[in-house]
Amino acid sequence: MNIKEAARKEELLESGHRLCAGCSESIIVRQVFMALRGPTIVTEATGCLEVATTIDPYTSWKLPWIHSAFENAAATATGIDVAFRVFKRKGRSKYEQVDVLAFGGDGATYDIGFQALSGAIERGDDFLYVLYDNEAYMNTGIQRSGGTPRGASTTTTPPGKAIPGKPQYKKPIDLIIAAHGDCYVATASPAYWKDLIEKARKGIEKDGPGFLHAISPCPRGWRYDMQSTIELARLAVETCYFPLWEYDGEYKLTGRSARIADKPELKKPLEDFIKPQGRFRHLFRPENKEVLDALQDDVDSYWERLLQLVSCVK
């Protein structure tokens, strides 16, 4: 796709929303919208993005938009896809193609909405699901989710004598989705905007389901200075905490992650990513070194698993 043409497109997420200063969600949405190819309908799960952009009677969305509950954004996308195909078959649509997008946070994707998402992908429904992953239930009070990394402090996993933050690892949601088979799956970071836009377009053009997993730094939940959002989104990739890759029948590392695979010395220490974040501050106490090491092991294991998957197709 032509990036210059994409940059000249009309902004379809209007300013004036009430997302927190420094929030990356609106950046991700705008980058995804640069990949649109024509008429589009959006469905969105309950979450930060939904409540902050559609406070009645106002909306920031300048295209058809449907609010879904936490658990059924993917099911709603299925309904839109099927309805359009029926209208087209009956000659009741003036459009040859209508693209369907679903947006959901980690709570609506890793946990509450996973059943509907898995079912839609298994059926081969034609839409792009975009996960903006801020790694906790930020909208309802910063509770832990399946996307929260090991050791992170949340309101339901506060570090103390009982537990040193969340005891469990971050669920590998993108690998789980890829295991469904015929689906386009990709990870992305708003710091690498060209990579994100191109992957969004591939997911939209896929004849069937697409899944775009974008890391979404949150100043409020991660507890960092709001001007550091893009820097943290970049460090997530550079430390291999959040590698960039895609799957469409075979696994492929992209962008910075592909360069790190070729030159491992480019990989930055994990501490560069987690030290600026208050949610990990307790991990640097001597008594929590085990947890810090376990988090590093989680990151290394995921990276090595990706390298193995990529090497299988070389």
Over residues 56-67, the pLDDT tens digits come to: 899 999 999 999
DSSP codes, 100-129:
EEEEEEHIIIIITTHHHHHHHHHHT---EE
- Chain CA centroid to CA 195, Å: 13
* CB-CB contact of 147 with 106 (8 Å): yes
| In the chain, where the domains are located | 3-311
d(CA 44, CA 56): 16
Q: What is the share, in percent, of the chain residues with pLDDT greater than 70?
A: 99
Cα distances (angstroms) measured from residue 62 to each of 12, 100, 244: 5, 15, 30
pLDDT tens column, 269-292: 999 999 999 999 999 999 999 999
Q: Rounded to the nearest 5°, which phi and psi values hold at 10?
A: -65, 140
Provide the mean pLDDT of the chain. Answer: 95
The CATH classification number of 3-311 equals: 3.40.50.970
Position 6 confidence tier, pLDDT thresholds 50, 70, 90 = confident
Closest CA to 104 of 212, 27, 266: 212
Residue found under tokens 């209007």? 14
Secondary structure of residue 43 in the 3-state scheme: strand
- The maximal CA–CA distance of the chain, rounded, in angstroms, is 68
Position 9 scores a pLDDT of 84
Closest CA to 149 of 162, 126, 166: 166
Position 314 pLDDT exceeds 50: no
